[in-house]
Amino acid sequence: RELTGEVEFENVDFGYNPDKIVLHDINMYAKPGQKIAFVGSTGAGKTTITNLINRFYDIQDGKIRYDNINIGKIKKPDLRRSLGIVLQDTHLFTGTVMDNIRYGKLDATDEECIKAAKLANAHDFIKRLPDGYNTVLTGDGANLSQGQRQLLAIARAAVADPPALILDEATSSIDTRTEAMVSKGMDALMAGRTSFVIAHRLSTVKDADCIMVMEQGRIIERGTHDQLIDMKGRYYQLYTG
């Protein structure tokens, strides 16, 4: 059956090594279509939580549910594939731009890929490449800028059309104009899907339905931007610098 994008964590404990727990008692609930953001200092566990949403690892204790199906311990690659991921380092392979987008859904038609690229805000730069959608990328897309690679990653996720998404915001070295293009593409991609966003700039989490503030493997505060500001706790500190 189709998943709706409802995701729930209940008392989740996790460690990459069972002797060293790095996430403690994580509880969270995302309604279909909500945007959940994670903030917190380095090593707090943001990436680890998204690794678990993706089911890259089994958890030690607790439950992870998609649409009420507990997937915490059993391998369900079909469920895992239902999530779209836009990682900082997108894996692009040697092949055309079109095939790199199609990787999100192997039986997608050219029209579907182009539609996804338009939604992702990637169409314009692709059209300007020497052979447009038929331009061959070198391994890992070294002939593209970081921002262009991200736009392709967004297009790839869009063609997969998943009910839930994980977005890892780029930290570094994309110029303001490209960054605006990427964030426009991401906004279009997130519309109508549950989205988990690791944000490195607090400005991009302001509109989240719930912001999770993490520290040392725990969620220490949660709420909307305004609620967290009123709380005058850790988020407020981060925000006011």
Q: What is the number of other CB atoms lying within 10 angstroms of the CB of residue 187?
A: 14
What sign results for the dihedral spanned by CA atoms 81, 154, 140, 133? Answer: positive
| 170 SS3 class | coil
Piece of the chain touching Mg ion by CB under 5 A; list 40-48, 59-67, 179-187, 204-212: 40-48
Closer residue to ligand M5T in complex, CB, 15/132: 15
Q: Is residue 35 part of the contact set for ligand M5T (CB under 6 A)?
A: no
Going across the sheet that includes 7-14, the strands are 23-30, 7-14, 61-66, 69-70
Which of 145, 119, 165 lies closest to 5, judged by CA? 165
Closer residue to ligand M5T in complex, CB, 9/133: 9
15-34 mask for ligand M5T (x: CB under 6 A)?
Answer: -x-----x------------
| 39 SS3 class | strand
Cα separation, 111 vs 80, whole angstroms: 26
Site size toward ligand M5T, by CB under 6 A: 10
Closer residue to Mg ion in complex, CB, 101/214: 214
Site size toward Mg ion, by CB under 5 A: 2
Q: Is residue 88 part of the contact set for Mg ion (CB under 5 A)?
A: no
Closer residue to ligand M5T in complex, CB, 16/29: 16
Q: Is residue 47 part of the contact set for ligand M5T (CB under 6 A)?
A: yes
